[in-house]
Amino acid sequence: MAYSIGIDLGGTKIAGALVSFTGEEAEVLVYEKIAVDGQRRVERVFNDISELVYSLLGKLGKEEKLLGLGIACPGLVDVERGVMVYSENLNWRNVEVASFLDPHFDFPLFIEHDVRSGAIAEVFFGVGREYRNLVYLSVGTGIAGTLVWERHIIRGVRGISAEFGHVVINPGGPLCRCGNVGCLETLASGGAMEREAYHVLRQVVDGTTIMQRAKEGVEPFSRIVDRAAHFLGIGLANIAQIFDPEVIIIGGGVAEAGDFWLEQVYRHYQVHQFWSFPLPPLLLSRFLGKASVVGAAGLPWLKKAKFL
């Protein structure tokens, strides 16, 4: 059995996990979360990450050796140089992740884009193991994706492929943080549902509450979830028609709502079926909201085994 640590760096929280690996099985042994420094100070954030890593290391038995550390980072990432080129969530540019963290540890360190880390978790350890060609979509506060072809991640020329959250679905829709209007993220994400709830109710309602009340059939929550599912269904049908994957796997925080939410999305997805071929199935991620941290932890294991 092998052990490694994964860190998922987000805009508001840092999640860490100690994960064990046996063949194609991954198990989260310890999972912890801390808040991101409110001022997004680079040195403070990386000091907090170091402390979280040491906390997780303390859960490992003395006779057990750590393979390494993986960091899942938001935004544009240069995995070869270990640099976060740009992160809108943190307002960082050209932050040398490896340079900040390497001096603290005596084991290998790897970085990856957060959503691609989620895809890695599912392809190698989750529901994507039996497929070679798939799309992974993370639906949380925002929406982002990864295209995996012949079990290789397709990054694109500039490393920004599969930014499905910023595909325009409704040209007359809401303004997106990217500067465009009507992006899928503004219409179908957890953040989109929370904004719609505030617009209707004039009070802050978190995504978990929205989904729970929708499950109970309470309005306007049912309508809010159905509206988001409608736009996500359109987006997924477009993805299926462009890439023709074997399967589309959906993870992220919103996927924690499970089959209730997936069934609503699938209903709208089917409506937009292209007549000449059957739509690929939609599957819930095995690791859901923990997919990115599990994929990050998997980097040292997969690199050592030469799978990546």
pLDDT tens-digit map of 234-250:
999 999 999 999 999 99
Domain borders along the chain are: 2-119+289-304, 127-285
Q: Which of 51, 23, 52, 130 is nearest to 293 (CA)?
A: 52
Architecture of the CATH domain 127-285? 2-Layer Sandwich (3.30)
Task: Give the per-residue pLDDT at 17.
Answer: 97
Rounded distance between C-alpha atoms, residue 50 and residue 71, angstroms: 11
In which band, very low, low, confident or very high, does the pLDDT at 276 lie, cut at 50, 70 and 90?
A: low
Characterize the bridge pairing of strands 66-73 and 76-78.
Answer: unpaired
Homologous superfamily of the 2-119+289-304 domain (CATH) = ATPase, nucleotide binding domain (3.30.420.40)
Beta strands in 13-54 (DSSP E): 13-22, 25-35
Per-residue pLDDT tens over the stretch 61-73? 877 889 999 999 9
Rounded distance between C-alpha atoms, residue 277 and residue 292, angstroms: 32
pLDDT over 90, % of the chain: 80
Rounded distance between C-alpha atoms, residue 118 and residue 250, angstroms: 10
Q: What is the pTM of this model?
A: 0.92
Q: What is the DSSP secondary structure assignment for residue 289, as one 8-state letter?
A: G
Write the DSSP string, 198-257: HHHHSS---HHHHHHHHHTT-TTHHHHHHHHHHHHHHHHHHHHHHH--SEEEEESGGGGG
Can you say how many angstroms the Cα of residue 214 is from the centroid of all Cα atoms in its chain? 24
